[in-house]
Amino acid sequence: MSPLDISLADLIAHLDEELPDTDELARISEARLRAQTLSDLGDQLIDHYVSKAKQVGASWTEIGDAIGVSKQAAQQRHAPGPFERYTNLNRHSIVLAQEAARTHKHDSIGTEHLLLGLLGEPRGLAYEVLVAKTESEQRVRDAIAEALPPAGKKALRGHIAFRPESKEAIEQARRAAADLGHDWVGTEHSLLGLIRVEESPAARILRDLGFTSDELHETVKAEIANRLAARGN
């Protein structure tokens, strides 16, 4: 049994089951996309425990030794980034956004991809808010599909850059968390960040679905307060 209880046979079986009518070349492309997603998740797993180690006082030399790289390489690789305070669910939504861009063969990650990522994480508060308002996950997916650019000709390898409006949405998510007095950045804050970038595709989608920035802010504020109160009981 592997450390994650995932075998190569499982991965092959899932891919074959999901793509029963495609040829082997198409499956190679899909396998590469899934391999990249697994790699991204692995990086986030390491980042999580690097952060934990720093919190208990581990030095960069010790962390580098644990990873198998130099102190300088460890510092450079794991320096605080834009997703430092993101929850695990929200980090996963970013991975899903990257995967969505690759799947559609787009050369950059737009706010519409970020919205797809949030919709792909049903455990997140953003998903609950989206579905509660629209009464249908498919309605949101259809709205995003209409706003997506045409598929590209070839999927990119390696890193896919964020568009300027996506970078702004990520910054706005951090600001939304700060505005609410939260020391974490969850999927709900990312949803607020998206609608705050008013001219972005995601903001237009959300407005067309009936959301407003102020209403969304109050909804998120109330839902989090309810959750915290429930934990206290």
Q: Across all residues in the chain, what is the average pLDDT?
A: 88
Tokens of 31: 């396998």
User: Could you tell me if 89 and 104 are in contact, meaning their C-beta atoms sit under 8 angstroms apart?
Assistant: no
State pLDDT tens for residues 49-90: 888 888 899 998 999 999 898 988 888 777 666 777 899 899
State pLDDT tens for residues 85-132: 899 899 999 989 998 998 899 989 999 999 999 999 999 999 999 999
**Closest by alpha carbon to 155, among 101, 113, 74, 80?**
101
pLDDT at 157: 67
User: Could you tell me if 160 and 109 are in contact, meaning their C-beta atoms sit under 8 angstroms apart?
Assistant: yes
State pLDDT tens for residues 149-177: 888 887 666 678 899 999 999 999 999 99
Average pLDDT (181-194) is 95
Locus of tokens 């009936």: 210
pLDDT at 132: 95
pLDDT at 122: 94
Longest dimension (CA), the chain: 55
What HEC string does the chain produce? CCCCCCCHHHHHHHHHHHCCCCCHHHHHHHHHHHHHHHHHHHHHHHHHHHHHHHHCCCCHHHHHHHHCCCHHHHHHHCCCCCCCCECHHHHHHHHHHHHHHHHCCCCEECHHHHHHHHHCCCCCHHHHHHHHHHCCHHHHHHHHHHHCCCCCCCCCCCCCEECHHHHHHHHHHHHHHHHCCCCCECHHHHHHHHHHCCCCHHHHHHHHCCCCHHHHHHHHHHHHHHHHHHHHC
Locus of tokens 């949030």: 118
In the predicted structure, residue 3 carries a pLDDT above the cut 70: no
The one-letter code for the residue type at 152 is G
In the predicted structure, residue 1 carries a pLDDT above the cut 60: no
In the predicted structure, residue 194 carries a pLDDT above the cut 70: yes
118 or 43, which is more confident?
118
